[in-house]
Chain A
Amino acid sequence: MSNQITGAQSLVNALEQAGVDVMFGIPGGAILPAYDPIYDSKIRHILVRHEQGAGHAATGYAQATGRVGVCIATSGPGATNLVTPLADAHMDSVPIVAITGQVPGPAIGTDAFQEADIRGVTMPITKHNYLITNPLDIPKAIAEAFYIANSGRPGPVLVDIAKDALQKMTDYNYPTSINLRGYKPQTEPNAQSIRDAAALIAQSVKPVFYIGGGVIKANAAKDLLKLAELVGAPVVTTLMARGAFPDSHQQHLGMPGMHGTVAAVTALQKADLLITLGARFDDRVTGKLSTFAVNAKIIHADIDPAEIGKNRYADVPIIGDLGPTIRALIPAVEAEFKKNQPDLSTWWRQMGALREKYPLGYNEPSDGSLSPQYVIERIGALTGPDAIYAAGVGQHQMWASQFVKYEKPRTWLNSGGLGTMGYAVPAAMGAKVGAPDTPVWAIDGDGCFQMTNQELVTCALNNIPIKVAVINNESLGMVRQWQSLFYQQRYSNTDLHSKRIPDFAKLAEAMGCVGLRCESKSDVDKIIKEANAINDAPVVVDFSVHRDAMVWPMVAAGTSNDDIMIAKEMAPDWDSQEL
């Protein structure tokens, strides 16, 4: 009996044994027993200002490092405040573990104070979850949670622990191995599928690499580079895959999708083969599905069998980890190419012409006010491809994906699937904690920033010197853009009046950060350099930008990729293209 410890101590021991070095959280009644041993633990606990911040910080940490991010909250409202980040991490396949306190076992189901059925609530938005009422089960649940979160297709796992289970005395046994009979991710690809894929590649004269976030999750960017150069085909990287393939590479056509480049969107549309690696045929990429890449055969490689055939039939499905998959494809393609290597020169001539004719660009506002695209472009250019960029959701997010040039995986963090406004500041905080020596910019909108900026207090107090660019167009810009295009410029409830209320620079100062302001083009470089030079405090720059700037190109929701517009009511000049 003398070796017994509390359930709370068992939890902290298990977290330490799982390799946790940092967690983001807020204490409260039901989780309070756990916070006592946390006080003595070597795990760094960062006290956030809102549980949503803890969740996104865990996500940012995980995205930047590839390690499991951890957040912790109390029962009821603490737990429900984690719902948005859990759903976000689920959509973007980010490995995080959330620990929540629950009311004591005997009180569960009685509508006790601060009781919420968080296991029930989060069932559809977690990869798996647990409700622990017996302290003996704590180490096993923690070990399994970390294993499930970071294996197979990564995702969030929630462990809800009843308060009395944390208080009771228990034996501590951390499992030496994990065997879940219902969970055996297949990592090695089927050899026949690899041969079939290689054969298709060797027959294709219009192939395109359709690269999704799975390549980054699988740490397979270097393998991809080799395969792509071997095949010689155009490469497109989705919003979740920016950085999986260098933007500077001549085979890269940019991002496909609703705000993709003309060349990337058209390459997918006109291809005879999509080599799909870790992507999921999301509606923002395919546009109207029935008109998507109608002449293309599909190779679809993913670790999640349920993605195969979900939206688009796969001619050659490959289930497995993308690392082994791509490494197996390389010799298989080499063998096929010895027999027959297709000539891609016509295809490249067409795609090269499109890339040249329709580069990403923007017009400076005629009234001399600041162009948001210019600001973002300069942040990327002056800070460089080694930095990490986290965006919120909306116009600034699309511009940050278009005008910052990414060369490396895990340098671009955003909320792709769920589209969570308010993601940027806490995610940047988590990323900076995970990569303290790397400059981290949050490129945020004035709408997003007002959802989660309180975490700047956390940053200021915990020596987490992130930089935040508030791309302030005084409105919910992307919604306003849709109102401009589809609702006859009726700007219903999109004007935030955030020119001076709040005063973002003053707000930043009040939160212990450096607050800067930029209103003219001539100051942009100077102020970005000033922000980049500050490494002992978080910095917020309020960039006051033109409000009518729009994100182009655009494939309107529900329409075909063939109807891509390069500006308002302006389609590419297809007739002059030989496609």
Chain B
Amino acid sequence: MAQHTLSVLVENSPGVLARVASLFSRRGYNIDSLAVGPTENPEVSRMTIVLNLEGHALDQVSAQLFKLVNVIGIQEMKSANSRQRELLMVKVSNQGSRSEIEELAKRFGGQIVEENSTSVVVEAVGTSKELATLLAELKKYGVKELVQSGLIAIESSDTTLAERTLQETGLASSESHSQTEDYQN
């Protein structure tokens, strides 16, 4: 399975999410998860898209995405040089096994955040893989309800995606963006 994480800076304007979703749907690209949120710049939003690219080249997906006028910059996030996290909230049956569940949650850096008469809510932040393992272990207590966010990612390096993108899109200099240069080389 060819899974990739793309960070995409987009104009914070109406309809952008629909444009991106429509493009992925039309071209047959499978989205595993999608998270959209604000950035340090109020005019710009950031999408983190996890793609399962069976039979499609990442270059082609990026190039199609970059054709959208509202897309400012794209970068692939590699696990080696970025921090990638998801949020999991899961309502688990509590039949006298609270301390076991709490122990388990803590092992994954999580905690019990709500308690009811017959259930508890476990909250944890982690990589997709960690959360999948946690969830598998919680299943034996009985998962009543599951909510999981899309993945978000930030690069470990000193520079920001916006800084790199500003250069790439020629706002910092008069050069054309290097996005297309990459495809040439």
Which of A's residues lie within 8 Å of B, judged by CB? 119-120, 123-124, 127-128, 131, 148, 179-184, 186-188, 190, 192-193, 304-306, 308-310, 317-319
Whole-angstrom distance between the Cβ of B45 and the nearest chain A Cβ: 12
One of A124, A182, A306 near B63 (C-beta < 8 A): A306
B88-136: which residues lie under 8 A (CB-CB) from chain A?
none
18 additional contacts (CB under 8 A) given A182-B169, A184-B169, A184-B177? A120-B15, A123-B15, A124-B22, A179-B171, A181-B171, A182-B10, A182-B68, A182-B70, A184-B170, A186-B181, A190-B181, A305-B66, A305-B180, A306-B63, A309-B183, A317-B183, A317-B184, A319-B183
Interface centre among B59, B69, B171, B185 (most CB of A within 10 A): B69
> Is there a chain A Cβ closer than 8 Å to B4's Cβ?
no
One of A131, A179, A192, A309 near B15 (C-beta < 8 A): A131
Bound together, the chains give a CA A108 to CA B185 distance in angstroms of: 47
- Known contacts being A120-B18, A184-B170, A317-B184, is A305 close to B63, with CB within 8 Å? yes
One of B60, B170, B180 near A310 (C-beta < 8 A): B60
Interface centre among B57, B72, B181, B183 (most CB of A within 10 A): B183
B38-72: which residues lie under 8 A (CB-CB) from chain A?
57, 59-60, 63-64, 66-72
Question: Which bracket fits the contact residues of B?
Answer: 20 to 34
> Is there a chain A Cβ closer than 8 Å to B156's Cβ?
no
Whole-angstrom distance between the Cβ of B64 and the nearest chain A Cβ: 5
B72 CB contacts on chain A under 8 angstroms? 181-182
Whole-angstrom distance between the Cβ of A121 and the nearest chain B Cβ: 10
Say whether B180 contacts A319, CB under 8 Å: yes
B151-184: which residues lie under 8 A (CB-CB) from chain A?
166, 169-171, 176-177, 179-181, 183-184
- Known contacts being A119-B15, A182-B169, A184-B169, is A308 close to B63, with CB within 8 Å? yes
A183 CB contacts on chain B under 8 angstroms? 69
What are 19 A-B pairs at a CB distance below 8 A?
A123-B19, A131-B14, A181-B11, A181-B171, A182-B11, A182-B68, A182-B69, A182-B70, A184-B169, A186-B180, A187-B176, A190-B184, A190-B185, A304-B67, A305-B63, A305-B179, A306-B60, A310-B60, A319-B183
Bound together, the chains give a CA A319 to CA B66 distance in angstroms of: 14
B185 CB contacts on chain A under 8 angstroms? 190, 192
Say whether B64 contacts A306, CB under 8 Å: yes
Bound together, the chains give a CA A114 to CA B96 distance in angstroms of: 60
Bound together, the chains give a CA A187 to CA B23 distance in angstroms of: 24
B10 CB contacts on chain A under 8 angstroms? 182
Which of B's residues lie within 8 Å of A, judged by CB? 10-11, 14-15, 18-19, 22-23, 26, 57, 59-60, 63-64, 66-72, 166, 169-171, 176-177, 179-181, 183-185
Bound together, the chains give a CA A120 to CA B15 distance in angstroms of: 8
- Known contacts being A124-B26, A182-B72, A305-B63, is A188 close to B15, with CB within 8 Å? no
Bound together, the chains give a CA A128 to CA B16 distance in angstroms of: 11
B177 CB contacts on chain A under 8 angstroms? 184, 186
Residue of A nearest to B169 (CB): A181
Bound together, the chains give a CA A124 to CA B22 distance in angstroms of: 7
Say whether B18 contacts A309, CB under 8 Å: no
Bound together, the chains give a CA A183 to CA B70 distance in angstroms of: 8
Interface centre among A180, A181, A309 (most CB of B within 10 A): A181
B176 CB contacts on chain A under 8 angstroms? 184, 186-188
Residue of A nearest to B59 (CB): A309
B170 CB contacts on chain A under 8 angstroms? 184
Residue of B nearest to A311 (CB): B60
- Known contacts being A120-B18, A184-B169, is A308 close to B183, with CB within 8 Å? yes
A148 CB contacts on chain B under 8 angstroms? 69
Bound together, the chains give a CA A181 to CA B63 distance in angstroms of: 16
Residue of A nearest to B26 (CB): A124
Bound together, the chains give a CA A308 to CA B23 distance in angstroms of: 18
Say whether B15 contacts A124, CB under 8 Å: no
Whole-angstrom distance between the Cβ of B116 and the nearest chain A Cβ: 38
Say whether B184 contacts A123, CB under 8 Å: no
Residue of A nearest to B10 (CB): A182
A180 CB contacts on chain B under 8 angstroms? 69
B180 CB contacts on chain A under 8 angstroms? 186, 305, 319
A179 CB contacts on chain B under 8 angstroms? 171
Whole-angstrom distance between the Cβ of A563 and the nearest chain B Cβ: 26
Whole-angstrom distance between the Cβ of B175 and the nearest chain A Cβ: 9
Say whether B67 contacts A124, CB under 8 Å: no
Bound together, the chains give a CA A193 to CA B185 distance in angstroms of: 8
Bound together, the chains give a CA A193 to CA B180 distance in angstroms of: 12
Say whether A182 contacts B71, CB under 8 Å: yes
Whole-angstrom distance between the Cβ of B96 and the nearest chain A Cβ: 51
Say whether A309 contacts B57, CB under 8 Å: yes
Bound together, the chains give a CA A317 to CA B23 distance in angstroms of: 24
Residue of A nearest to B70 (CB): A182
Bound together, the chains give a CA A555 to CA B180 distance in angstroms of: 35
A309 CB contacts on chain B under 8 angstroms? 57, 59-60, 183
Whole-angstrom distance between the Cβ of A221 and the nearest chain B Cβ: 25
B171 CB contacts on chain A under 8 angstroms? 179, 181
Interface centre among B11, B26, B63 (most CB of A within 10 A): B63
A188 CB contacts on chain B under 8 angstroms? 176
A186 CB contacts on chain B under 8 angstroms? 176-177, 180-181
Whole-angstrom distance between the Cβ of A116 and the nearest chain B Cβ: 15
Say whether B18 contacts A318, CB under 8 Å: no
Whole-angstrom distance between the Cβ of A98 and the nearest chain B Cβ: 16
A192 CB contacts on chain B under 8 angstroms? 184-185
Bound together, the chains give a CA A310 to CA B60 distance in angstroms of: 6
Whole-angstrom distance between the Cβ of B135 and the nearest chain A Cβ: 36
> Which 5 pairs between the two chains have the least Cβ-Cβ distance?
A306-B63, A128-B69, A186-B176, A182-B72, A305-B180
Residue of B nearest to A152 (CB): B67
Bound together, the chains give a CA A306 to CA B22 distance in angstroms of: 17
Bound together, the chains give a CA A317 to CA B19 distance in angstroms of: 27
A310 CB contacts on chain B under 8 angstroms? 60
Bound together, the chains give a CA A305 to CA B63 distance in angstroms of: 6
B184 CB contacts on chain A under 8 angstroms? 190, 192-193, 317-319
Bound together, the chains give a CA A180 to CA B72 distance in angstroms of: 9
B66 CB contacts on chain A under 8 angstroms? 305-306
Bound together, the chains give a CA A352 to CA B86 distance in angstroms of: 64
Whole-angstrom distance between the Cβ of A134 and the nearest chain B Cβ: 12
Residue of B nearest to A317 (CB): B184
Interface centre among B18, B59, B176, B181 (most CB of A within 10 A): B176
Bound together, the chains give a CA A183 to CA B170 distance in angstroms of: 10
B67 CB contacts on chain A under 8 angstroms? 304, 306
A190 CB contacts on chain B under 8 angstroms? 181, 184-185
